[in-house]
A and B are shown apart, each in its own frame.
Chain A
Amino acid sequence: MIVGERKPLSEIQEMLKGYKKVMVLGCRTCVAVCMAGGDKEVELLGSLLRIAATKDGSRLEVVEDAVERQCDREYIEPIREKVAACDAVLSMACGCGVQFMAELYADKPVLPAINTNFIGVTESTGVWTERCGQCGNCVLHLTGGICPIARCSKSLLNGPCGGSQNGKCEISPDVDCGWQLIYNRMKQLGQLEKLAEVIPAKDWTTSRDGGPRKIVREDVKI
């Protein structure tokens, strides 16, 4: 899932300066699950903005709404009238949702209320951690199901660096060394010998280095 976090209120207020009527638009997929942009957060942010506006005497009308997914045209199309009635849309979706909204409603400023952080998992309620670096060429079968790209701070492919100490990464005592995790897991699987094989230098063109990515599936395309 895409994990995001709401921006500080002051930053959002700054963005909204000059607008009289704003729509706070939630997204009921990833950001709802990671408690950043579902219906509850929409209501909370809506209330916060109204309280803040009342406090500093500015006039701001806030409309609250949410759709199933902001990254699908069919879901964001039906709110056209509501969008038209506002000066701006404050999207609580991830970066994709914000952009897709902006694309569809080209004449309307669409502003981000969320910082999109990473692709990750819910470790426990309120704790999310990154798992995937979207490199476009998965190596998890070589590394015991633990991603060296996302879990090693340096994205090393062939074992830890000198900064690995007592199982932790040198960047912070709270961060596990990804390669220590890989080593432990491979040991548990009885496949330590696989680590002796050198993983060749990675072709990063499948990742961000190859520019914006696109997938076209001829078999399903209509």
Chain B
Amino acid sequence: MSSKGNAGNGDVGVSRKVGAVMVVGGGIGAMQASLDLANAGFKVYLVERTPSIGGRMAQLDKTFPTNDCSMCTISPKLVECGKHLNIDLITYSEVQSIEGTAGNFTAKVLCKAKSVDYSKCTGCGLCQEKCPTKVDSEFEAGIGKRKAIYVPYPQAVPNKPVIDREHCMKFTKNKCGVCQKKCPTGAINYEDQDKIIELKVGAIILAPGYDPVDPKLRPEYGFGRYKNVVTSLQYERLLSASGPTQGHIQRPSDQKAPHKIAWIQCVGSRDAQCGNEYCSSVCCMYATKEAIMTAEHEKGVACSIFFNDIRAFGKGFERYYIGAEKDSGVKYIRGIVSTVREMQRTKNLLARYVSDDGEIKEEEFQLVILSVGLRPSKGSKELAELAGIKLDSHGYALTSTFRPNETTRAGVFALGAFLAPMDIPETVMTASSAAAAAAELVSEERGSLVAQKEYPSERDIMGQKPRVGVFVCRCGTNIARVVDVQKVVEYAKTLPHVEFATESLFTCSTDSQKTISKAIEEHNLNRVIVAACTPATHEPLFQDTLKEAGLNKFLFEMANIRNQCSWVHEDPVMATEKSKDLVRMAVARALKLEPIKQLQSPVTAKALVIGGGLSGMTAALSLARQGFESYLVERSPKLGGYLNRLQYTLEGDNTQEWLKKLVGEVEKEKRIKVFTDAEVTEFSGHVGNFHAAVKTANKTEKVDAGAVIVATGAQEYQPTEYLYGKSPNVLTQLELEEKIAKEPEALRNANTVVMIQCVGSRDDEHMYCSRVCCGQAVKNALRLKELNPAAKIFVLHRDIRTYASKELAYKKAREKGVLFLRYNPEHKPEVAQTNGKLSVRAQDVSIGAIIDIKPDIVVLSAGIKPHETNPTLGSLLKVPLDRDGFYLEAHLKLRPLDFSSEGIFLCGLAHSPKYIEESVAQARGAASRAASLLSKDFLTVGGVISVVNPEKCVACLTCVRVCPYGVPAFKDEEGAVYIEPASCQGCGICAGACPNKAIEVQHYKDRQVVAKCKVLCEVSKT
């Protein structure tokens, strides 16, 4: 492993830190943190309480605001965690104690008896199928069943079962034992014992996630009494194609499709009575998503959402919300349902609510969904106790604004919904951030504990005749019970160039790998075919076996006779025939396969950070602590960016003090080279190897970097409305904030203040919510109240979007007498000035009246708009912007900090409007993503990528236009397009689009695919 990036504090006598990290929890946050750390050269122990990783995200049907399938997006990450050489999955286990100090912890972990020997189990699933005991499935949120021996869900990692001893008859009544009898590999072990293991780690990351609030806390909604009242998580399972109803929306009472559905928001959120005063942040959007998906599932279903405020504050949420109403016909009803009653005969539900105009109404629905809030997961309190960290009053990990991942115990970090209720991208960002924090702590031990695999040198097969080996898998009885495996083997032997064919019980088992290796050697095979299951999960395993046997891994092909034969066909004769067809096709393609040489491209272990605000500085500092140098390029003469204008936070931090401290740290840090008054004027290269020119007042310097972080921030909207600039008493929130901090005396006489929300947000020109303005208004209103408790403060708003714990400040402001009046966008407030006196005329929807206010000052909550440099810098770096003009990440959910172009990352306001703690977390997260890359000496490039034949290229530029990653570039000197191997993602879109067939995707060349198709139509000769 590389010695690069080691901080190298060579203190003799100080006990060495441990280059390993324990991650507690197995959800998407824990997975992301583990992957970041393992890819950056640290050993990771992932300790998960349940039998598999995946967490809540695996349970969801789709995700907002893109409607991507949740399972499809998480599944590759599950597989990556499962097969990562440096991640030890310790599932079905709980932490018992944590001793030691930062850099050197010892954790005791209780590994519960799984009753299954994972070294023998192949995950064939027979035990699960034959087990007679059915139990409510946790994964199906209680609306589906599982067995007593079970894998929680089909795509689970590890895909091996555990026995639930509380329900298994062998343990409860000493009966049954079917699983042991049926197991083809003798993996079932009823005598298995709990055991305690000790882990030595340098840092600990806690990611216990969340649980949904118990809907019975609101008995008036009848959950548990009325069958057709379900929770939102149960509804996710009803929508899911892999759920208990196969994705058909059926209501529980009669399995009929409901035509009128209601969502009730804030069940267990914003509710002092049930103990959760905070906002759960995600329910407005998931309800919106569920309603959109419902409308998509079945035309004509009427969906109504009862809500307090719609909190569509995240990136792309406002458009999503507008689309739900306009395009999907979702009805949003402001007002919370007071009671739900069941109608005896129809089992329909009567919801009673007070409408916006103050009338009490009743409406009948066929299904009611409770949008249950989030709370810290069961057991997180105990976890906090044994980890020795403090929690806040609601049970979330106590952290601070500028150190959003750091708990009260040094070396113990937290992420995701253990910090506050948050959605998936926020979780992923805080996960990368926690990974960076952990890596900073143990950076000098990078690479000390990770495993590296050595392979023999590759055999040259040039000029050799193809010699094919075919390995047909029985998969226990999974394949063999339908397909006549022996016949398939005999058939394979008759195919051209097949020198060897055999069958095995489980081709993926360790001894089968040895068999394959041996056969390659003995029969001098130069092509290998496995007829078994899907390459999506198993191809890397077999390719690795080829590498171990000295064969290029691209000389391998799979035939999926499980998913495509035994699982879907019942007739053994036909299924066997089809298996033969698939094997014949695989052989035909294998004959055309070529070894592909992958290259090692060196990595420049430095980063270019563009933007010297809070995010840029945080990212550069984190990289420095992880041992990496960076160039920090700031456009203005002074570091600090937007933070220069913020004085204090809602939580009471003095931002200017923090800023001073941060700038001091940056200036002191030897690993950071700061350029001020500077901009990036030239940019070229590819991942691991970028070249840029940084222009300052008097010179232009060339810099090389392996990674780039875009942290260019955003700008305050300059209002043109509400007399801004025309009256000295009309200010923006930032201007007010500066006044409060610097000349508070001037404000003591402000007796009446009007704040207007959504100025430059949520309108036709800015179709997004600026996210921070509600909190900012609450923050400044509270400060004004401190200065002058008698001040009358009116906040004119459309929805108050104080999510998570900011809701508590909103409540406090109301208690202090701040008046929040709601206006409709059709009737915006009017500000007038006569003889220097301001007057505001505004509508208050809730009382249905127009009110006139004579304020001393009017404060505009001006939104955050994309930075003016985005279009130029974006095109220089070849990274895209979203529809609102902010930078667009690779994937809104799971790659929020990466651009689709490899090696370029983003954070802070450049991504979208956000609070300080969110920018800090993103910046540190981006540093983590960059560090994973910078810690490598070389990147392996090539393989399945597109290659241009310059002779055939007609320079039509089609590929340049269609590539989603901006990789193909026209080279003047060659008169043809060139595709950089290090940057190509191998998607093949260019190859498909090329009008002159000048581009081919390696390993999927036309002739390789056509060969397969050609033999499909030949009839098998047996």
B954 touches A38 (CB 8 A): yes
Hey, which chain B residues are within 8 Å of A66, CB to CB? 996
Interface residues of B in 929-986 (CB under 8 A from A): 952, 954-958, 961-962
Q: Does B261 contact A (CB under 8 A)?
A: no
Say if the beta carbon of B994 comes within 8 Å of chain A.
yes
Residue B56, interface by CB 8 Å: no
Is the beta-carbon distance between A125 and B954 smaller than 8 angstroms?
no
Closest Cβ–Cβ distance, residue B1014 to chain A (whole Å) = 12
B142 at the interface (CB under 8 A from A): no
Residues of B within 8 A of A40 (CB): 994-997
For A33, list chain B residues within 8 Å (CB). 954-956, 995
From known contacts A39-B996, A39-B997, infer whether A32 and B956 are also in contact, taking CB-CB under 8 Å: yes
Residues of B within 8 A of A43 (CB): 997
Q: Mark B477-496, 1 if CB is under 8 A from A, else 0.
A: 00000000000000000000
Q: Is A38 a contact partner of B993 (Cβ separation < 8 A)? A: no
Q: Report if A28 contacts B (CB, 8 A).
A: yes
A60-89 interface code vs B (CB 8 A; 1 in, 0 out): 000000100000000000000000000000
Task: Establish whether residues A32 and B996, one from each chain, have CB atoms under 8 Å apart when the complex forms.
Answer: yes
What's the tally of chain B residues with a CB closer than 8 Å to chain A? 14
Docked-complex contact A38 and B961, CB < 8 angstroms: no
Identify the closest chain A residue to B957 (Cβ): A122
In the complex, chain B residues whose CB is within 8 Å of the CB of A207:
none
Query: Is A99's CB within 8 Å of the partner chain B?
Result: no
Contact call B997/A125, Cβ cutoff below 8 A: no
Q: Chain B nearest CB: distance from A47 CB in Å?
A: 10
Is A10 an interface position by the 8 A CB rule? no
Does A124 have its Cβ within 8 Å of any Cβ on chain B? yes
With A and B bound together, what is the CA distance between A156 and B120 in angstroms? 84
| Chain B minimum-CB-distance residue to A26 | B996
Q: Which residue of A lies closest to B991 (CB)?
A: A40
Q: Is A41 an interface residue when CB atoms closer than 8 A count as contact?
A: yes
Q: How far is the CB of B135 from chain A (nearest CB, A)?
A: 54
- Whether the pair A39, B993 counts as a contact (CB closer than 8 A) is no
Q: Is A29 an interface residue (CB 8 A)?
A: yes
* B residues in contact with A39, CB < 8 Å: 952, 995-998
| Interface membership of chain B positions 41-77, coded 1 if the CB is closer than 8 angstroms to chain A and 0 otherwise | 0000000000000000000000000000000000000
Within the complex, the shortest CB–CB distance from A51 to chain B, in Å, comes to 12
Contacting residues of chain A (22-41) with chain B, CB-CB under 8 angstroms: 28-29, 32-35, 38-41
Q: In residues 567-602 of chain B, which contact A (Cβ within 8 Å)?
A: none
User: How many A-B residue pairs lie within 8 Å, measured between CB atoms?
Assistant: 39
Shortest B1001–chain A CB gap in Å is 14
Which residue of chain A has its CB nearest to the CB of B996? Answer: A38
Could you tell me if A125 and B993 are in contact, using CB atoms closer than 8 angstroms? yes
Taking a contact as CB atoms under 8 Å apart, the answer to whether B961 and A125 are in contact is: yes
Interface members, chain A 80-131 (any B CB < 8 Å): 122, 124-125
Given contacts A39-B996, A40-B995, A41-B995, A32 and B962 within 8 Å (CB-CB):
no
Query: Separation in Å of the B12 CB from the closest CB of chain A?
Result: 63
Interface size on A, residues (CB 8 A): 15
Q: How far is the CA of A29 from the CA of B995 in the complex (A)?
A: 11
| Chain A: minimal CB distance from B325 (Å) | 30
**Closest CB-CB distance, B191 to chain A, in whole Å?**
63
With beta carbons under 8 angstroms apart, the residue of A28, A32, A34, A124 that contacts B961 is: A124
Given A124-B961, A125-B961, A125-B962; A32-B954 close (CB under 8 Å): yes
**Which residue on chain A has the smallest CB distance to residue B956?**
A33
- A35 with B958, Cβ < 8 A, contacts A40-B995, A40-B997, A125-B993 known: yes
A33 to B959, CA, bound (A): 11
Q: How far is the CA of A203 from the CA of B962 in the complex (A)?
A: 44
CB B473 to nearest CB in A, in angstroms, measures 35
User: Which chain A residues (1-56) contact chain B, with CB distance < 8 Å?
Assistant: 28-29, 32-35, 38-41, 43
Task: Say yes or no: A29 contacts B958, CB within 8 Å.
Answer: no
Q: What CA separation (Å) do A66 and B957 show in the bound complex?
A: 20
The residue of chain B having its C-beta at the shortest distance from the C-beta of A31 within the complex is: B995
Residue-wise interface mask of B (618-659) relative to A, using a CB-CB cutoff of 8 A (1 in contact, 0 not): 000000000000000000000000000000000000000000
B961 CB, nearest partner CB in chain A, Å: 5
- A29 vs B957: C-alpha distance when bound (angstroms): 13
* A residues near B962, Cβ cutoff 8 Å: 125
| Cross-chain contact B954 with A28 (CB below 8 angstroms) | yes
CA distance A43 to B997 in the complex (A): 9
Specify which chain B residues have a CB less than 8 angstroms from the CB of A38 in the assembled complex: 954, 995-997
> B residues within 8 A CB of A29?
954
Q: A122 contacts which chain B residues (CB < 8 A)?
A: 956-957
Complex CA distance for A38 and B995, rounded to whole angstroms: 6
Instruction: Provide the bound-state CA to CA distance between A66 and B996, in Å.
Output: 10
Which residues on the A side are within 8 Å of B997 (C-beta)?
38-40, 43
Beta-carbon contact of B958 and A125 below 8 Å: yes
Residues of A within 8 A of B955 (CB): 33
With A and B bound together, what is the CA distance between A33 and B998 in angstroms?
12
| B995: chain A residues within 8 A (beta carbon) | 32-35, 38-41
Q: Give the distance in Å from the alpha carbon of A33 to the alpha carbon of B995 in the complex.
A: 7
* Min CB gap B407→A, angstroms: 51
Bound form: Cα–Cα A21–B854 in Å: 91
Interface centre among A28, A43, A66, by most B CB within 10 Å?
A28
Q: Which of B981-1021 contact A (CB under 8 A)?
A: 993-998
Least Cβ distance of B958 to chain A in Å? 6
Nearest chain A residue, comparing its CB with the CB of B955: A33
CA gap between A10 and B573 in the complex, in Å: 42
Bound-state Cα–Cα, A38 to B957, Å: 14
Most chain-A CB neighbours within 10 Å: which of B952, B958, B962, B997? B997
CA of A33 to CA of B961, assembled, Å:
13
**Shortest Cβ distance from A66 into B: residue:** B996
In the complex, chain B residues 716-754 whose Cβ is within 8 Å of any chain A Cβ:
none
**Residues on the A chain within 8 Å of B993, using CB:** 125
Among B952, B954, B957, the one with the most A-chain Cβ atoms within 10 Å of its Cβ is B954
Report the bound CA distance from A33 to B953 in whole Å.
10
Identify which of A34, A39, A41, A122 gathers the most chain B CB atoms within 10 Å of its CB: A39
| Shortest Cβ distance from residue B949 to the other chain A in the assembled complex, whole angstroms | 11
Please indicate the chain B residues that have their CB under 8 angstroms from the CB of A124 in the complex: 961
Q: Mark A184-220, 1 if CB is under 8 A from B, else 0.
A: 0000000000000000000000000000000000000
Inter-chain contacts of A32 with B (CB < 8 A): 954, 956, 995-996
Distance to closest chain B CB from A134 (angstroms): 22
In the bound assembly, the distance between CA atoms of A162 and B30 in angstroms comes to 69
- Look across to chain A and name the residue whose beta carbon is closest to the beta carbon of B993: A125
CB-based nearest A residue for B997: A39
Measured between alpha carbons, how far is A66 from B995 in the docked complex, in Å?
12
In the complex, A66→B997 CA distance in Å?
11
Please name all residues of chain B whose beta carbon is closer than 8 Å to the beta carbon of A35 when the two chains form the complex: 956, 958, 995
Chain A neighbourhood of B954, CB < 8 A: 28-29, 32-33, 38
Shortest Cβ distance from B992 into A: residue? A40
A35-B958 Cα distance, complex, nearest whole Å = 9
Q: How far is the CB of B1007 from chain A (nearest CB, A)?
A: 12
Point out the residues of chain A lying under 8 angstroms from B958, CB to CB.
35, 125
Q: How far apart are the CA atoms of A29 and B958 in the complex, in Å?
A: 14
Question: Chain A residues near B952 (CB, 8 Å)?
Answer: 28, 39
| Binary contact track B395-435/A, C-beta < 8 Å → 1, others 0 | 00000000000000000000000000000000000000000
What residue in chain B is nearest A36 (Cβ atoms)? Answer: B995
Min distance, Cβ B812 to any Cβ of chain A, angstroms: 54
Q: How far is the CA of A34 from the CA of B996 in the complex (A)?
A: 10
Which A residues are CB-close (under 8 A) to B996? 28, 32, 38-40, 66
Closest 5 A/B residue pairs (Cβ): A33-B956, A38-B996, A39-B997, A38-B995, A35-B995
Provide a sorted-by-A list of 21 A–B residue pairs whose CB atoms are within 8 angstroms. Answer: A28-B996, A29-B954, A32-B954, A33-B954, A33-B995, A35-B958, A35-B995, A38-B954, A38-B996, A38-B997, A39-B995, A39-B996, A39-B997, A40-B994, A40-B995, A43-B997, A66-B996, A122-B956, A122-B957, A124-B961, A125-B993
Give 12 A-B pairs besides A33-B995, A43-B997, A66-B996 with Cβ atoms closer than 8 angstroms: A28-B996, A29-B954, A32-B956, A33-B956, A35-B956, A38-B997, A39-B996, A40-B995, A40-B996, A122-B957, A124-B961, A125-B961
